[in-house]
Amino acid sequence: MDYIESELLSVVDVIKNDKDPARLNQAAVKALLARLYLNAAVYRDPYGKPEFRKTDMDKVIQYTSDIIAGPYSLSPEYFDLFSDNNHTNPATDKLTVRLAEATPQVFTTITDVTGVVLGRNTHRLIDDNTLEISVTTLPPAIYLLQIQTNRGMQTLKFVKQ
């Protein structure tokens, strides 16, 4: 645990804060640190009685609060994450995404799985909360779609056939 902690602490304040998908950024390092401290009692003594230290829990609160204060948010409807209403994945011509709530403008970035940006666009929704994106020019592959609204950012994986 000490080695992993030292490695993460050595980069947490110097790593980029970019929001591009498929890249480790400052929020990801803080999430790893929060998880490390949350489970530290078990990591320190996996076969004994766990000793949860207040200092560890304070660090969990610190790092998760930093993440929440940034451009990230939790889905307002947890079970929507498992919804089967994305009927256009895999996509052929267009990708349809239902957002949790209506928003006046949506900014999207499509990248390949290596993080190369293939397109950035601004969209208006076709109804209250449905976004349609043309993917006709993309070759068949797996892609990441980053959706930025005034409520935060979400990254989805999709397949182009």
Q: What is the pLDDT along the chain (161 residues), one digit of tens a residue?
A: 899 999 999 999 998 877 665 578 888 899 999 999 999 999 988 888 888 899 999 999 999 898 888 766 655 665 665 565 544 567 778 888 888 777 878 899 999 888 889 999 988 777 777 888 889 999 988 888 998 888 788 888 888 88
Q: What's the predicted TM-score (pTM) here? A: 0.50
Please say whether the beta carbons of 47 and 65 come within 8 A.
no
Q: Which residues contact 118 (CB under 8 A, 6 or more apart)?
A: 110, 111, 112, 138, 143
Strands 106-112 and 117-123 turn out to be antiparallel
Query: What is the residue extent of each domain of the chain?
Result: 2-69, 78-160
| Sign of the alpha-carbon dihedral angle for 135, 21, 60, 43 | positive
Encode pLDDT of 135-159 as tens digits.
999 998 888 899 888 878 888 888 8
Looking at the domain that runs over 78-160, which CATH code has it been given?
2.60.40.3080
Please say whether the beta carbons of 36 and 64 come within 8 A.
no
pLDDT given for residue 12 in this prediction: 92
Task: Give the tokens for residue 3.
Answer: 């080695």
